[in-house]
Amino acid sequence: MQQLYMKQKVFSIGEKFTVTDDRENPIYTVAGSFMQIPKTFRIYDQDGDNVCTITKKVFSLLPKFFVNIEGQPTITIIKEFTLFKPRYTIDSGDISVTGDWWDMDFEVSAAGSPIAQISKKWFSWGDTYQITVFDDDKRDLIVSLVVAIDRVKADQAASSSSSSSS
C-alpha cells in the first residue's frame, strides 16, 4: 500500500500538478499544454518518462476525454446528456469507480477488488487529493484516472462559468 498526494499549483502558466509520496518526494509531474488544441496533459514519472497522456476530444457534441497509458488507450470519460446535474461515464474495461467521484471521494476497483481510495482535502491551498494505492502495479493507472477526473471537473466548471456570464 502506498500513500500519494496530488497538489495543483495555484499560480502557474499552463496547469501543473505534483504527485508526491507521504515524505513529499516527487513521484509524478503533470504538465498541461498551454494554448494548444486539443488540450493535453502529460504525466511524467520521476525519471522524466511520459507514462500517460490525457486528451480532450475537440469536435464532439458532448465532452469526451481519452487517457492513454504507455501509448495504449486505457480510459475514456464521456459526458452524458442530462438537463440538470452533470453525469459522466468512465469506460475502462475491468476498472470501476464507486462513490462520489464528482466530490472526489471514491474507490477504484479492478475486477471487483479495491485497488485505490481517493479523497479530496478541503482545507488546502490549491486542490489537494490523497490517493491510497492498494495495488502498486496499478499506480500509473490510478494517478492518470485522478488527473483525468480532475480535468473533467475543471472543464465543467469553466463551461458553467462561461455560460452563466453570457
CATH topology for 2-164 is Porin (2.40.160)
- Say what the pTM is: 0.82
Q: Which of 11, 3, 1, 36 is nearest to 131 (CA)?
A: 3
Residue 14 confidence (pLDDT): 59
Task: Pick 63 or 160 by higher pLDDT.
Answer: 63
Question: Residue 163: is its pLDDT beyond 70?
Answer: no
Do 126 and 7 touch, CB atoms closer than 8 A?
A: yes
Q: What is the mean pLDDT of residues 39-62?
A: 87
Q: What is the reported pLDDT for 72?
A: 85
pLDDT band at residue 115, thresholds of 50, 70 and 90? very high
Query: Which amino acid does the sequence have at 87?
Result: R
